[in-house]
Copies of this chain bind each other. A is one copy, B any other.
Amino acid sequence: MARRAAAGLLRRHLGPLAAGETLQARGMYPKQYGAANHAFSRFYSIQGQQRSLYGFRTNVETDDTQQSARMNFEVQKRSFSSAAAHVQRNPAYSVLNSDDVSYFKSILGDSGVVQDEDRVSVANMDWMGKYKGSSQLLLLPKSTAEVSKILSYCNSRRLAVVPQGGNTGLVGGSVPVYDEVNGILTCEAGCVLENLSSYVENKGFIMPLDLGAKGSCHIGGNISTNAGGLRFIRYGSLHGSVLGLEVVLADGTVLDMLTTLRKDNTGYDLKHLFIGSEGSLGIVTKIAILTPAKLPSTNVAFLSCNDYISCQKLLLAARRSLGEILSAFEFMDRHCINLAMKYLEGVHNPLPVSPYNFYVLIETTGSDESYDKAKLEAFLLRSMEDGLVADGVIAQDISQASNFWRIREGISEASVKVGAVYKYDLSIPVEKLYDIVEEMRSRVGDMGQVLGYGHLGDGNLHLNILSTKYSDKMLAQIEPFVYEWTSKQRGSISAEHGLGLMKADKIHYSKSSEAVQLMTSIKKLLDPNSILNPYKVLPQSVLLLRATEDKSVNTILERIRW
């Protein structure tokens, strides 16, 4: 069948990333490892002499959105040998040899195959400098065809591959194509989110997602992690805004699902398998995504509530009264504010008169400045009359608005200054969301301080437990309780950040065994040699079943027999 890109769309190069200079008003990304002009999806293959993963601790200051799966685990794993799960190399993988390297050079050229120890070790390190892999080769493919050839080769050679997006900031230009009539962006996976944002904003649109790491993360990484972020409450999940994907499967097959249509009900919608599968089912090489119109007016209010039930009622009221202009509903408890005031420089409490138990940040985005503000004011007034809000203030200029956001986003940074932080990223039905904070507080007692804050509008709680130093005793008070409690509420133990390496074995807290079984069957269908992102997402216990074990073959065969 003839398949070609819709004609007539504007093509433009973004050029290489301006690295290290990207401080954003929201969610600053404090650290970048330098930039190179290498285009597109970067990944490296794990070779034979793989060591156990390990980490070393650095006190990088982070904003609250930094508690990625990696980091969550890092904090626990590195500090408590009791909880550490060192990954043993699977002997089924081949050992990288010089023929392999020659082959890669023959398709990527010398510059696309990096063996230089320094550069490879940068790629082996996660962005927090906590994890270290032991891959000995870094490959920099520039096209889908190159990705396909690499995978096809690695699959037949049983060489494991770790897809990498913007992890360390070593990223480059790419080729976005914009369709202004339909409001649809088509681009390669290696585009940096922030570059895409500026690109579409110039045309009067915005990306449907925004996160603190935007100066560094790739859109391919965003898709693969199903990133949430700051615009989630308004524009929803990537499952709703991604229209099409091009994906290279483990055997090198290019799966062209790169449609730019809003509606297409012809067969199963396969792209969803790859959104959020953390690189374990295929490598995303191209993306088509819906971009909403950019709206000119933003207003931010900072409110206080006396109790958690008022926060809930306020959320309900905001959904009703602010309706189409509501764009953020964040909450923090008293402990968060105290901490922020103590440790964040240049930040002041907008409601200093008396201490309240809870604080809420509400943002609206709409197309009419004065109308939107009037609406927010009326809402605020009504909520005070109804006794939901104890006190409140609306930002009169950008600097006030930034101060409000800085408090909310600085909580994580402030937490780190206390010493040890145990961080959890949970989804819990709103009415139960604060219960875990209180239960945790009574479990921990005076061993530590418990903070509850997060994206209340999305039912996403950030739970931080602070202490002066890490201890096994404290950890025993927290885990597995926090996972078990979340599971009982049918919550998610990873709202935004995926399972990665270390939560792979914890999937059963949020997914039924039937679901995990089906995920495993799908993994085996799509990546039978398990070369993609080994040891991640799914429990090793399920994935390590091998064809040589008769029972397993028969079970699988039974499932697919027709």
List the interface of chain A (C-beta within 8 A of B).
Answer: 1-6, 8, 179-183, 204, 225-226, 228, 232, 236-237, 239-241, 253-270, 272-273, 275-277, 281, 293, 295, 312, 315-316, 319-325, 366-368, 371, 375, 427-432, 458-460, 487-499, 503, 507-516, 518-519, 521-522, 524-526, 528-530, 537-538, 545-547, 553, 556-562
Contact = CB atoms under 8 A, between A and B. Distances in A.
Contact of A263 (B254, B264, B269, B459): B459
A197 B429 CA distance: 23
Contacts of A460: 262-263
Nearest to A237: B240
B257 A515 contact: yes
Given A266-B499, A547-B561, 20 more contacts: A1-B487, A1-B513, A2-B487, A5-B490, A225-B265, A239-B269, A257-B515, A262-B458, A263-B458, A265-B276, A265-B496, A265-B497, A267-B515, A268-B273, A268-B281, A272-B273, A371-B371, A524-B560, A525-B559, A525-B560
A263 B241 CA distance: 15
A180 B312 CA distance: 10
26 contacts: A3-B487, A4-B490, A6-B429, A181-B429, A181-B431, A182-B430, A183-B319, A225-B265, A226-B265, A237-B240, A237-B262, A239-B240, A253-B514, A259-B490, A262-B458, A263-B492, A263-B495, A264-B427, A267-B507, A268-B276, A293-B323, A323-B367, A518-B526, A522-B525, A547-B562, A557-B560
Contact of A494 (B266, B273, B503): B266
A48 B1 CA distance: 37
Contacts of A546: 562
Contacts of A293: 319-320, 323
A367 B553 CA distance: 59
A524 B268 CA distance: 13
Contacts of A264: 427, 492, 494-495, 510
A293 B240 CA distance: 18
Contacts of A268: 273, 276-277, 281, 519, 522, 537
Contacts of A325: 324
A2 B323 CA distance: 36
A161 to B, nearest CB: 16
Given A265-B225, A496-B263, A273 B273 contact: yes
A501 to B, nearest CB: 14
Contacts of A429: 6, 179, 181-182, 260-261
A94 to B, nearest CB: 15
Contact of A367 (B258, B321, B519): B321
Contacts of A272: 239, 269, 272-273
B261 A515 contact: no
Nearest to A364: B324
A149 B515 CA distance: 19
A277 B272 CA distance: 13
B490 A260 contact: yes
Pick from A8, A492, A546, A560 the residue with the most CB of B within 10 Å.
A560
B269 A295 contact: no
A10 to B, nearest CB: 12
The 4 closest A-B pairs by CB, nearest first: A240-B240, A272-B272, A264-B492, A324-B324
A490 to B, nearest CB: 6
Nearest to A179: B429
A325 B179 CA distance: 22
Given A179-B429, A375-B368, A490-B260, A516 B267 contact: yes
Contacts of A239: 239-240, 269, 272
Contact of A512 (B226, B255, B432, B511): B255
Nearest to A428: B261
Contact of A515 (B182, B255, B516): B255
A427 to B, nearest CB: 4
